[in-house]
Every structure is written in C-alpha cells, then in structure tokens.
Chain A
Amino acid sequence: MQTAISIRQAVKRYGPITALHGVSMDIADNEFFTLLGPSGCGKTTLLRMLAGFEDVTEGEIHLFGERIASLPPEKRPVNTVFQQYALFPHLTVLENVAFGLKMKGVPLSDRNARAGKMLELVHLSGFADRKPSQLSGGQQQRVALARALAPQPKVLLLDEPLSALDLKLRQAMRVELKLLQEETGITFIFVTHDQEEALAMSDRIAVMSSGQVQQIGTPREIYEAPVNRFVADFIGETNLIEVDVDTVTDGQATVTLPGGHTVVCAAASNNSGRHALSIRPERVAITDHAPDLQATVERVIYLGTDLHLITRLDGGEPFSLRLQNASRVALPEPGARIGLKLEEGAARLLAD
C-alpha cells in the first residue's frame, strides 16, 4: 500500500519546552488514522505541523514522497476540519464550502456545482444559502467537513471535530465519518482524546503521551496487546498487577501471580524481573475450581448488560471485573470470597 504521510523524527520545541520528542510514523493512503492521547500529549501539535500551522523544529515530513515541512499551509494538498469549525461567518454555507475552490481559481458556476455536491454528501443541500450562525452545532460540523473535502485534499486532518457535539450526535457522526472516509477514499488523520471514538472509527491508532508515540496499531492490537503501562491504562479499563517474571522467551512469559499461582502469558518485551501485568476486567471469570487469584468482593455495581465487581486481591491490590449479565448467576455479595480464573490470553505482561 502507498504511504500517504511519512513522519521521520519530528521534533517540536517552543523555547525550552519540547512538545514532540522525535516522532516517527507512516500513514498509508486511504487509511483512517487516529492520533490518540490525553491533552498535552502533542497530538494536536503534530496535526498542526501536518497542516503547516507549526513549523518543524527538526525532522522531516513527506506527503506522497514530497517534502512538505517547509511549505506554507496554502501550498499543501491537505485540508483541516477545525475543532471549533472556524466557519467564515460573513459567507453563506455554499460560499464557505466553495472557498477552497475559489482560492484554486475554479470558475463560479463550476465551484458552486461542486460545493453543492459536497453539501449533498453531508446531507445539507437545503441549507446552502444560510449563514453559519443559523445552523446547529451538528450542521456547522458538517459544513466544516464539506468545506475541507471540497478542494479534494490528498489528506484530511480532523482536529477533535466531534468534541463540541452532544453524545448522541457524536455517536451518529462516528459512523458517518467512517462512511465518508470510505466513500471519498481520502486519507483521514483524526485527533482525539476519546478512546472510544478512536476504537470505533480507526483503521490504525497512534497512542501518544508526553510528546512521544507509545504504540501504533489497529484498535484490536492497541486494546488487546498494549505494549506498556500507559497504553494499557489509557485504552479501556484494566487491572495492573506487579508480578515477578520467572522465564521469558519469544514473547511468552511465565509469571508468578500474587498468591503463588503461575500463568503463561504474552509479553511485550523479553525483560525479566518485576513488571506490570495487565488483565482486562471482562476476561476474568469467577470459579471454584483451581482459581488463579483469590479476592474479596467489595462492591457490586449493576449496569444492566454488565455487572461491575470491585474486589480486592488477597495481596491487597484492587481488582475489577466485568461479568456479562447473561446467565442468571447468583450475584456475589459484598464481603464474599471468590476465586478468579483468567481466560486464555487475558493477561499480558507489559514492557514497563
């Protein structure tokens, strides 16, 4: 597959502060790629560097093989959907969408026709003559999308475009964005701090923190095979337990759990010693036969489809479980002692 964007050792410094510490990644053509991380992790800085609003202190950025690090924003074949949309308040919806085409010198009738098509694509055909201030937040968001897509960019950059919408709209837009990306065949680079959003839409995700890339992978890889403590903790919910590594070879480790049982699990590195073991709460079952861990129930939270159990291991570590509410199992009472069985592949040894 062709590489749309290749970032090599990109560094960004603001005076004494380093926002990005040598970030490298390759983003494939026609990919829905997400930069995910908490605020201040450098994801927006990286996106703004791709758009051309921030210069690159060190490193290289190539777009389809062409160096773009020194090009001003108006010369780059990428367009941005801004967080607060940044629609032009003095122009109508149609004029907003046609703006990029106007700058390219497309004649009026032609650009209006193309802008009209874009509005159709985002289901806003009837709103062409309105001003942005006359639209709802969700509609403004679609206009921003149509405006950025109209000049047919090679890459579309989306800076937390859903964060200003309410939950229902946000969930609907997730599906629509993904469909839009498949329909247009344009590479989408999506910035968000919302892991659920990232998992739902992305082909691949780059998890970032403190100006560094922690892990790049498909949603499934990120969730099921996190490489380190940060990724495991940031994506979804997890139990992190400190364990001793007995043996580790070729990504398989034998570790001793608190309580003395040993299990074999996948390992993110071949380092021995003491490391964090990540166990997803939904990959653990309650059992009476040969449990891997012993715990005391502290609290049972009923969530309808799920039961959330907050327990404490015999070693004193907190441990949470999610059980499906499918079988009419008897609910454990707070204070009850239970045995826990890790499902196949539930545990993963983290690098650090």
Chain B
Amino acid sequence: MAGAAPTPSPEAGGSDATYARLRRPLLAPTWTVIGVFLLLPVLLMVVYSFLTKEFRGGVEWDFTLAAYDQFFVTRGLFGDEPAQIEWTYITIFWRSIWQAGLATFLCLLIGFPTAWFIATRPEASRPIWLFLITIPYWVNLLIRTVSLRFILRDQGPMNDALIGLGVISQPLEILNTNLAVQLGLFYSYLPFMVLPIYAAVERYNFALSEAAADLGANRWRALFEVVLPVVRPGIVAGCILVFVPALGAFLAPDLLGGAKTFMIGSLIDEQFRGSQGNWPFGAAVSVILMTLVLIVLMIQARAAARAGQ
C-alpha cells in the first residue's frame, strides 16, 4: 500500500529515540488541560452527587445515595409512605427534552434554507451573509434574552405592532409560557445550526443534484435522496450543537418562562443558589443530564459509523 508508513531506516533511529523521549513532556500541556478542565470537574461533580447535603448549602463528606433517591423516589410529604416514583423531576426532564427537541427542529427548519441560501451566493458575498448572521451574537446571551422579555411582554413592541396592524385586538400573553421559552431557545441557538450546515452545503458538489435530476429525480426526491444524505454530517453537527445546550439551558426558561416552564438548567441552577440550595442534588441532576447527553451522542456516533462503512 502506498499510504503505509515507511519502515524507519537505521539512520532514522536517532530521531525515533528522540521522539520516544520527548513524547511525554510534549504531550504534558494537553493532558494538563484535559485533566484540570475536563476530567477533574466531571469527577468532582460525580463525587458531590454522592455526598450529603449540608444545612446552609455545601456538603458533608458522608457518602449516600440520597440525591438520586430524591430525584427518582418519593415517600410522601413526611417520608412515611411507601416508596413511589417521583414524577416532579422526570417531568422537568421530559419538558426539557421536548423543548430542546422542538427548538432543534425549528432551528433546522429555518437554519437549513438559510445555510443553503448563503452557501449558494457568489463566493465573494458569502462572508458578508455569515457576518450578518453572527452580529446579534456579539451581544451577551443574558442581555439578548432579557431584551426578548421586553419584546414579548403584553405592552411590548410585538404586541403593539400586531394590534396596530389589526391582526389581534387583545395583546397575546406569550411571556411566562412554554412558547416564550421556545422562542428564546430557538433564537439563542439558531446560528449553531446555520454554521455547520453552511460548511457542509458549501462543500456540496452541485453536479450531484444535476445527476439526480438527469436520472429522473424531481426536486423533492433529489433533496431527500441526494442532498440531505450528502450534507447529513453538517445537519447532525448542527442538531447536536443546538440540542445539547438547549437541553441544559437556564437563561431562557428563567427569564422568559414561569413556574410551569421549569427546565433542567433552572433546576440545577436553583440547587447552587444561597442557603436553600442542595449541592449533592444539583450534582446528581447534572450527572443524570450528562448521562442522557452521552447516550444521545453515542447513538449518533454509532449511526455515523454505520453510515460511513
């Protein structure tokens, strides 16, 4: 095989030895970053989830499964009833998955045509379009979400405009509903869908679409049989980049939603605030969330490996 690595010649032996000697020190920065910023925090989180809650927040080093028990099991208000499944947190998880999934779907629905549009502009004007997409994201997510609050409220510009145009007579009560949270999520993560799809479409060979048409595929069949499968990696990347952060989002549900729109992110956030917090419980919810995300990523990776064969 032409691509196989050449066997080292005796003369090259010296540099091979140098490589072996320097390998560890040269890789040290990488391992440090991975260790300090990735493995250590995750480990801390896992350990904390098995500790006991201290009265004023914080933890006591007393290993217990209490946090997970609190998440999945209820024994009534006073803890004296037979154990039953606790639905409160599972419902929050289910709502989060549903909201994040819907946001992903909407981002895909709007993001794909947007990415397609940009990628099919003349090469010189594409950076301008991408620039325009990213401009709003120069502003901090918190500020953008707060702004959305003002736009959506009953006397906000959106309702004023709709009433002014005669579309509605009473202001729409969007704020503090799931719809507001959904709008917030969709708006926050849209560029994460547009950019990877753009990258995939830009590399797409449009002769493939011609070939599909030539072989009798109309526009829709060409889209579903050729275009979408070929740019699939970009679509999958975009969906993951939207779904994962949307699942753990807490700004949008916090600022745009109300009590009935609680999501995982807000739940975790609450556990680490002030003296009412419950650190082990917050850590346990995080571990469960992370496990969920890992499962999604593993399913995706396996599907990609199968498709790549």
Contacts and interface: CB of A to CB of B under 8 A. Distances in A.
Given A82-B207, A86-B208, A86-B210, A151 B215 contact: yes
A72 B215 contact: no
Contacts of B225: 99, 102
A86 B207 contact: yes
Given A79-B215, A103-B217, A73 B226 contact: no
A200 B229 CA distance: 40
Interface in A30-72: 51-53, 72
Nearest to B232: A90
Contacts of A73: 210, 213-214
A104 interface: yes
Contact of A79 (B208, B214, B218): B214
Interface residues of A, number: 24
A90 B207 contact: no
Contact of A103 (B221, B230, B232, B307): B221
A74 B213 contact: yes
B215 A84 contact: no
Residue from A53, A90, A148, A151 with most neighbouring chain B CB atoms (10 Å):
A90
A89 B204 CA distance: 11
A141 interface: no
Contacts of B229: 88, 90
Interface in A129-162: 147-148, 151
Nearest to B309: A131
A226 interface: no
B3 to A, nearest CB: 13
Contact of A90 (B210, B217, B218, B230): B230
Given A74-B218, A82-B207, A88 B230 contact: yes
A90 B204 CA distance: 12
B162 interface: no
B207 A89 contact: no
Interface residues of B, number: 19
B211 interface: yes
Contacts of B208: 86, 88-89
A100 interface: yes
Contacts of A89: 208, 230
B217 A53 contact: no
B136 to A, nearest CB: 34
A78 B210 CA distance: 13
Contacts of A84: 205, 207
Contacts of B183: none
Given A89-B230, A90-B307, A51 B214 contact: yes
Contacts of B218: 72, 74
A147 B230 contact: no
Given A88-B226, A90-B307, A74 B207 contact: no
Given A88-B226, A90-B307, A100 B210 contact: no
Contacts of B215: 74, 79, 99-100, 103, 147-148, 151
11 contacts: A52-B213, A53-B214, A80-B210, A90-B232, A99-B215, A99-B217, A99-B225, A102-B225, A103-B215, A148-B214, A151-B216
Interface of B: 205, 207-208, 210-218, 221, 225-226, 229-230, 232, 307
Interface of A: 51-53, 72-74, 78-80, 82, 84, 86-90, 99-100, 102-104, 147-148, 151
Given A84-B205, A99-B215, A103-B216, 6 more contacts: A52-B213, A80-B210, A86-B211, A88-B208, A100-B215, A151-B215
